[in-house]
Amino acid sequence: MRKTLLFILIAVFIFSCKKSDDESVPDITGAKNLTIFCVNDQHGQINNFSKIKYIVDAEKQHTSVIVACGGDIFSGNPVVDFYDGKGYPMIDAMNLAGFDISVVGNHEYDYGEVVLKDRMEQAGFVWVCANVDMENTGVPEPYEYYTLSTDSLRVTFLGLVETNGKDNGTIPSTHPFRVQNFTFERPENVVAQYANVKEQENADLYIALTHLGHDGYGGNLCDFQLAEQFPYFDLIIGGHSHAEVNTTVNGIPIFQSGSYLNKLGKIELKVKDKEVVDINFKLIDLNNYPDYDAGLKAIIDQYNETMALVLDEVIGYSHQDHQKYQVGCFYTDALRERLDVDVTFQNSGGVRSGLNEGDITIREIYEFDPFNNSAIIYEMSVSDIKAFLKGSAAGFYYSGVQIQQVDNSVEIRDLSNNIIPNTTILLLGINDYIP
């Protein structure tokens, strides 16, 4: 009797567990497969596109594929930034690698209107961005949203870019002079009008393709806040914060693939009845991936070899390695001497790399200062300089003075450590991006 009772209890336990497991596993019968490859913030890096093409072409042999970019394709590699036809090697590589769609990131504006117009027209992929108006520029207007059709699915992408480039304005983080004729809106002010796009487009998936950053600060809308406040999307593919992101917020998966084309994001989805029933994300380490498309590699090699004739010219020597902050100090010292001024400032975000021991080449100079900004000279009182420092959200490298924060006030001293009176007028040299 005890054995019979024990058998019955075990059987009940097993079948009850199996029922629970079945309920927790979604029914994927009849689901359609889709792979989305994604990159973001490549900043001019092109060498790994031949590997991306190899991976994408192989995946297309057995499933539907979309290749998407989370923005910031320019600024960071002098091979691309100073090519005769600024930025063209990036567009060419993305075209040949099979990209389908990209959001317009903040650094897409770095080259100015004329160049952006040419590059957007040359792109074989779709541009999306819902919170910019380019009507007064001659630059092709990006789609607010766009629906791509694969073999069996309709996938709609809504594009959004950050607008945190100026404390008292609404522009992306680029040089204000280069976006004077563009009109931007805060992303949080436009998203709600696209709440029903999935139904309007009869889409199987609705994806936010963003260049907002993944986590907000100072009240800014980023991907996490987008998922919380505007839960219209099946997933979010982001950029801007150069992060590797694989998380879920408010039931919405959010992905970002790092930066500088070091990693390729691979999102594998199963879609049924316009819902994601299974999703998997992984990052492919492109630097260690062995295979590549030989044809595209040859084209990229040619770009590198052509530009090496100029960029690899030796113009100096460094007796030690310099970290980025040390380069910032060197930069402002050189700027102060060149401009013959009392003090210089350089925003910390304008210095992008360190400097290695050994020969200094033109390439390295352009790598740590890729933005090609100008310098301007002001006459300013010490009091005005203090107000400027307090009112700016940016960090700075500087030369010619010592700056100390004492409680809630700022002290500016000369190089002999003497306090400079507030009424003293100084000649100030500054990167023209900062004002």
Same domain, 320 and 265: no
Same domain, 55 and 171: yes
On whether the CB atoms of residues 132 and 126 are closer than 8 A, the answer is no
Does residue 335 fall inside a structural domain?
yes
Does residue 9 fall inside a structural domain?
no
Give, for 411, the enclosing helix (H) or strand (E).
strand 409-413
Same domain, 263 and 327: no
Give the domain CATH number at 272: 3.60.21.10
On whether the CB atoms of residues 39 and 265 are closer than 8 A, the answer is yes
Same domain, 97 and 237: yes
Same domain, 273 and 391: no
Query: Which domain-ending residue is among 304, 338, 357?
Result: 304
Does residue 391 fall inside a structural domain?
yes
Same domain, 118 and 199: yes
Does residue 383 fall inside a structural domain?
yes
**What's the Cα-to-Cα distance from 173 to each of 45, 108, 206, 369, 406, rounded to whole Å?**
20, 10, 27, 16, 30
Give the domain CATH number at 322: 3.90.780.10
CA distance 141 to 133: 7
On whether the CB atoms of residues 56 and 97 are closer than 8 A, the answer is yes
Buried b (16+ CB within 10 A) or exposed e, 343-374: bbbbbeebbbbbbeeeeebbbbbbbbbbbebe
171, two tokens: 């522009």
Tokens 């900062």 belong to residue: 434
Query: Closest by alpha carbon to 206, among 276, 119, 291?
Result: 276
CA distance 159 to 302: 33
Tokens 């700016």 belong to residue: 392
Query: Which domain-ending residue is among 304, 333, 357?
Result: 304
Does residue 61 fall inside a structural domain?
yes
255, two tokens: 């992905």
Phi, psi (degrees; rounded to nearest 5) at 169? -150, 180
On whether the CB atoms of residues 1 and 218 are closer than 8 A, the answer is no
pLDDT in tens, the chain (435 residues): 444 444 444 444 444 444 344 445 678 889 999 999 999 999 999 999 999 999 999 999 999 999 999 999 999 999 999 999 999 999 999 999 999 999 999 999 999 999 999 999 999 999 999 999 999 999 999 999 999 999 889 999 999 999 998 877 899 999 999 999 999 999 999 999 999 999 999 999 999 999 999 998 767 899 999 999 999 999 999 999 999 999 999 999 999 999 999 999 999 999 999 999 999 999 999 999 999 999 999 999 999 999 999 999 999 999 999 999 999 999 999 999 999 999 999 988 889 899 999 999 999 999 988 888 889 999 999 999 999 888 776 689 999 999 988 777 889 999 999 999 999 999 999 988 875
Give, for 38, the enclosing helix (H) or strand (E).
strand 32-39
270, two tokens: 């199963």
Does residue 18 fall inside a structural domain?
no
Does residue 1 fall inside a structural domain?
no
Same domain, 322 and 426: yes
Domain extent for 379:
313-431
Same domain, 152 and 276: yes
Q: How many domains does the chain have?
A: 2
Same domain, 272 and 337: no
Does residue 65 fall inside a structural domain?
yes
Region for residue 310 given its phi and psi (left: phi exceeds 0; alpha: psi -120 to 50; beta: otherwise): alpha
CA distance 344 to 97: 43
Same domain, 294 and 350: no
Please, which residues have CB within 8 angstroms of residue 120's CB and are 6 or more apart in sequence?
A: 127, 139, 140, 142
Query: Which domain-ending residue is among 304, 335, 353?
Result: 304
Same domain, 289 and 321: no
Same domain, 130 and 180: yes
On whether the CB atoms of residues 197 and 223 are closer than 8 A, the answer is no
What is the arrangement of strands in the sheet containing 154-161, beginning at the earlier edge strand? 145-149, 154-161, 205-211, 235-237, 252-257, 244-249
